[in-house]
Amino acid sequence: MGGTKLKLQRIQWFQVVLALAVVIAVAGCAKKKVTPPTPVPPPPPPAPTAMLAANPNTIVAGQASTLTWTTDFASSITIDGIGKVDPIGSMKVTPNESTTYHLVAKNDTATKEATARITVTPAASAPPPTSSSTGDESNARLFSQNVKDVFFELDSYEISPQYEAVIQANGRFLQQHSAMSFVIEGHCDERGSIEYNLALGENRAQATKQALTQAGVSATRIRTISYGKEKPFCTESTDACWQQNRRAHFAYSK
């Protein structure tokens, strides 16, 4: 009894599938356009691809970093400040200040750009915490050497356990330098919506501020701003780049 019913159902189901297949095939056919057999000009070259990376991407002034790039299908490849380069190559650079290298790969079809940033920290050894009255510029340098950014998971504004230690270290430094005030900038990667990312970046900045005040830093020294995805640190559409952009960045103000 159950067997026949099952079989019957199977046949009906089979008919439905067949009917669907016919319907879809017909719908598909109706959409097809007949192209006249005119001679086709040779297809334009495919759009170029380009990748540019710096290793390491943070150096102390005087040290060297290596730029590595890979491009495909490009007829002209230039890096700003360096000039024309081979399609694939690498080069040692020793920038004196933080620099964003900008590669442009072109052919007749399109232009593809790639960037890599090398952050240069000054070579001067950190003065002891007691001599913090050496002017604003050295304070800014001291701040950027010691206060580290916090990075976030995708669509999250929670500070993950691995960055608790960063917050604690930042907190110790800022307690020792109690005259410094600063901005926490909330940043997001390029995916998702402009407005939502601004709100998310705000929550990242606020969560970082809250963690820092719990670590003993007075809230009156901290200003926050969200840049959402408006001011990315890295402009490639790669996981590594997106990770770089999901951050709370600390900027010295005075």
Partner 1 sequence: MKRLAAIILSLFLASVAFAAPPQDWIRTGTGLGVEKIRLAVPDFKPAANDPESKKLATTFSTTLWNDLQAAGIFDMVSASFYPLSAPGTPQDVKLSEWEAPPPNANMLAFGNAGVQGGSLTVQGWLFDVKNAQSPQVLGKQYHEQASEDNARLIAHRFADEIIFRLGGGIQGIAESKIYFVSSRGGSKEIWQMDYDGANQKQLTHLGTIALSPHVSPDGSRIAYAGISNTEWQILMYSLELNRPVNFTRFAGTNLSPAWSSDGKSLAFSSSRSGDSEIYVVDISGGEVRRLTNTKGPDVSPSWNPKTNAQIAWVSGRTGLPQIYTMASDGTNVVRMTEQGYAVSPSWSPNGQFLAFAWVRHYGPGEPGASDIYVMDVASKQWVQLTHDGGRNDFPSWSPDGRHIVFQSNRTGKTQIWSMLADGSQARQLTTAGENSQPNWSFK
Provide the binding-site residues for partner 1, judged by CB under 8 A: 7, 10-11, 13-14, 17-18, 20-21, 24-25, 27-28, 31, 155, 157, 183, 191-196, 198-200, 202-203, 206, 210, 223-226, 230
Select from 80, 19, 18, 90 the least CA-distant residue to 54: 90
For tokens 């067949």, name the residue. Answer: 18
For tokens 């410094």, name the residue. Answer: 180
Q: How far is the CB of 200 from partner 1 (least distance, A)?
A: 5
Select from 176, 152, 147, 175 the least CA-distant residue to 163: 152
103 CB burial (10 A radius; 0-12, 13-18, 19+): buried
Beta strands, E only, the chain? 49-55, 58-60, 65-72, 76-79, 83-84, 88-93, 99-106, 111-121, 150-151, 182-187, 222-228, 247-252
Other Cβ atoms closer than 10 A to 166: 18
- Pick the closer one to partner 1 by CB: 28 or 135: 28
Q: How far is the CB of 193 from partner 1 (least distance, A)?
A: 4
Q: How far is the CB of 83 from partner 1 (least distance, A)?
A: 26
DSSP state of 14: H
Q: How far is the CB of 31 from partner 1 (least distance, A)?
A: 6
Q: How far is the CB of 227 from partner 1 (least distance, A)?
A: 8
Q: How far is the CB of 220 from partner 1 (least distance, A)?
A: 14
- Pick the closer one to partner 1 by CB: 32 or 92: 32
Other Cβ atoms closer than 10 A to 27: 9
- Pick the closer one to partner 1 by CB: 202 or 236: 202
What whole-number distance in Å separates Cα of residue 88 and Cα of residue 191? Answer: 29
- Pick the closer one to partner 1 by CB: 9 or 75: 9
- Is the distance from CB of 192 to CB of 242 less than 8 angstroms? no
- Pick the closer one to partner 1 by CB: 200 or 217: 200
- Pick the closer one to partner 1 by CB: 6 or 126: 6
